[in-house]
Amino acid sequence: MRYAHTVEQVRAAEAAAMAALPDGALMQRAAAGLADAVLDLLGTTGAVYGRRVVLLVGPGDNGGDALYAGARLARRGVAVAAWALSDRVHQAGLEALRSAGGTVLDGPPPVRPDLVVDGIVGIGGRPGLRADAVAALAALDGVPVVAVDVPSGVDVDTGALDGPAVEAVLTVTFGTYKIADLVDPAAQHAGAVHLVDLDLELPPAPVEALQAADVAALLPRPPVDAQKYLRGVVGVRAGSATYPGAGLLSVGGADCGMTGMVRYVGDDLVLRMVQAAHPEVVGPGRVQAWVVGSGSDSGAEATLADALADAVPTVVDADALAFVSPHGDNADLILTPHAGELARMLDVERAEIEARPLEHARSAAERYGAVVLLKGRHTLVVEPGGRTRVTTTGTPWLATAGAGDVLGGLIGALLAAGLAPFDAASVGSWVHGATATAASAGGPITASDVARGLPGMMRDLLRESTP
């Protein structure tokens, strides 16, 4: 699991660690990890001796981390120059850099560097960048940037952007992941994220990101005396004469092997398509979870009402989202909007959702009293109270028609198999993204490709976690 903490949590943990360590020890650990990451990045294209690195240094501790890391790089033969963007830079770090052979600039470097280290502002900085920092970055445009802790200019605790921000190829973060390292749009500026462990004592994190081992541990396994009804039955009410493919793809996601049975209830045309593609799928009957809404068109309201009458956990997608009552008894619901659908649910502009997805997903979870899965590059799963999981699997090729239908069916299967809504949504999202990446292999995919790949992906996860 990757855990992302708030600025307040990190500062408290760092203060406790510094009280127990010699003065400056924590910064030296951070600088050592930063220097190693920079050396690794430089070394991917050849020897590091003689390579040029410019440190953009601001007044905070991130500037100190950059300067001490620069001193280590200089001792390894890297030509390091610090461009100070403040009169109040870390003096001890500056002296360490000079002693190691580094230089100090008061403007753009005379020779274009191989790499820039962003030590402009730290986790306490306000969103956006000052004009001098924007100008410095413009002067170095096109040079790869390594961000210290977080890209300067992002909103660390929300992942939002409010003005210009550094765009890094690598972010070296310390002690724990920061929310901006994982949550878009800030995470899009972070590039790859490398964690340097500082052995901090941290409280529970408000934001998490599942990893393969976590997903494998959460996947339901049938007992030795399993029979099909005990393994769970998932029902799908999706598709219509207008959108038959949505029903077929929803069933494709649900028919992933994680339950004992899949039922389909809906349009006769869709039923014939489902029976042709999935002969094991049966008709109406009792279920442990429902999947409703995808492609339901004008029948969405009635479809949702019929599903909710069974009082079982339900995945609500697409057309049916408009008929979920705020502040209702929605504890067993998983709502799966994209940004446009969530905008309509909250009566805001889509651009607001995309600018502050975490804030709005949390608002929706509170308003509706349900787990909300906000689809995106880094999908967010939020439960009332604010606990959040970020999905970091996936590929841009997954932005294809029908992918959300497959996801809804998969989550419904995990619900029927026994997972709680928060786990079902976050595990389903992770598996969906990982399956798409594997199926893509770097090229185009369709939603059907993802549905076909689900059993194999989960089989691999289960096999790797078997003692």
pLDDT tens figures, 157-182: 999 999 999 999 999 999 999 999 99
CB count in 10 Å sphere of residue 442: 7
Q: What whole-number distance in Å separates Cα of residue 319 and Cα of residue 71?
A: 58
Coil, strand, or helix at residue 33? helix
Higher pLDDT, 48 or 273: 273
Residues 212-263: pLDDT tens digits? 999 999 999 998 888 888 899 999 999 999 999 999 999 999 999 999 999 9
Q: What whole-number distance in Å separates Cα of residue 45 and Cα of residue 75?
A: 19
Could you give the angle at which helices 7-20 and 25-43 cross, rounded to 10 degrees? Answer: 110
What are the φ/ψ torsions at residue 80 (nearest 5 degrees)? -110, 130
Domains along the chain with CATH numbers = 2-209 (3.40.50.10260), 212-465 (3.40.1190.20)
User: Which one-letter DSSP state was computed for residue 154?
Assistant: B
Residues 7-64: pLDDT tens digits? 999 999 999 999 999 999 999 999 999 999 999 999 865 678 889 999 999 988 889 9
Q: Is the peptide bond before 185 cis (omega within 30 degrees of 0)?
A: yes
Q: How would you label 265-299 residue by residue, b for 16+ Cβ within 10 Å and e otherwise?
A: bbbeebbebbeeebeebeeeeebbbbbbbbbbeeb
Q: What whole-number distance in Å separates Cα of residue 170 and Cα of residue 231?
A: 44
> First-to-last CA distance in the chain?
20
Confidence at residue 305, expressed as pLDDT on a 0 to 100 scale: 96
CB neighbours of 93 closer than 8 A, spacing ≥ 6?
27, 63, 64, 65, 66, 67, 68, 71
- pLDDT for residue 467 is more than 70: no
Residues 412-437: pLDDT tens digits? 999 999 999 999 999 999 999 999 99
What percent of the chain has pLDDT above 70?
A: 99
Is residue 464 very low, low, confident or very high in pLDDT (cuts 50, 70, 90)?
confident
Q: Output the CA–CA distances (angstroms, integers) from residue 30 to 39, 64, 103, 126, in the order listed.
A: 14, 10, 21, 22
Mean pLDDT of all residues in 284-308: 96
- Phi/psi class of residue 128: alpha, beta or left (left: φ > 0; alpha: ψ in -120 to 50)? left
- pLDDT for residue 465 is more than 80: no
Confidence at residue 227, expressed as pLDDT on a 0 to 100 scale: 86
Q: What whole-number distance in Å separates Cα of residue 10 and Cα of residue 180?
A: 13
Give the CB-side neighbour count of residue 106, counting CA atoms within 13 A. Answer: 1
- pLDDT for residue 285 is more than 80: yes
Residues 126-158: pLDDT tens digits? 899 999 999 999 999 999 999 999 999 999 999
Confidence at residue 275, expressed as pLDDT on a 0 to 100 scale: 94
- pLDDT for residue 339 is more than 90: yes
Residues 352-384: pLDDT tens digits? 999 999 999 999 999 999 999 999 999 999 999
Confidence at residue 126, expressed as pLDDT on a 0 to 100 scale: 85
Confidence at residue 45, expressed as pLDDT on a 0 to 100 scale: 58
